[in-house]
Amino acid sequence: MNMKSPQYFIIVLLMVLSSISYAQRPQEQRYDKEKFEAARVAFITNRLDLKPEQAEKFWPLFNKYNEERESLMKKMSGISKESEGNISENQAKQLIDQRFSVQSDMLKLDQKFMADITKVISHKQAVALGSANRDFIRQIYRMNQRGRGGN
């Protein structure tokens, strides 16, 4: 089997996904981050049909984007936590302003990322990236549900 064939990537992806081990901890999931990221790389690389020269430039940009986006999501989560409970009208206004500021930063990050990756991959591949990433997360979620005795 040719290592560049879609079947090869699917087999590797399934092997990596099946080896991602989930173990329950109180109120949170623990997983092997390296296996998770390897599975994501295989899934997205295959779905977008990235050529080796594209992948070499794409993944550093994608990883940097994900780190920055995760940081902004943590800020947004902190704002949401602050809004719980008894706050004053002035505090509520400040939290709304902070939320809009973080959302604006997220939009700017998305725009910069799209401008950067469309220098590396086609616009068609860039459009497909969003659904490929969501499909990967859904696949992980389904596997996790099955592992816990879900449907």
Per the CB < 8 A criterion, the answer to whether 129 and 44 are in contact is: yes
CA 65-25-149 angle, 5° bins: 95
- If we measure between CA atoms, which residue out of 66, 44, 69 comes closest to residue 121? 44
Supply the pLDDT for residue 31.
Answer: 64
- CA-based R_g, the chain, Å: 19
Alpha carbon distance 17, 139 (integer Å) = 9
* Across 44-57, average pLDDT: 96
Instruction: Give yes or no for residue 57 having a pLDDT over 60.
Output: yes
- List pLDDT tens digits, range 101-136: 999 999 999 999 999 999 999 999 999 998 998 999
**29 CB neighbour count, 10 Å cutoff:** 9
Give the containing element (helix H, strand E) for 24.
strand 23-25
Query: Beta strand 28-30 with 23-25: parallel, antiparallel or unpaired?
Result: antiparallel
Average pLDDT over residues 46-55: 95
Q: Greater confidence, 17 or 34?
A: 34
Q: Which long-range contacts (CB under 8 A, 24 or more apart) does 136-140 make?
A: 136/39, 136/40, 136/43, 136/44, 139/17, 139/43, 140/17, 140/20, 140/36, 140/39
**pLDDT value of residue 49:** 96
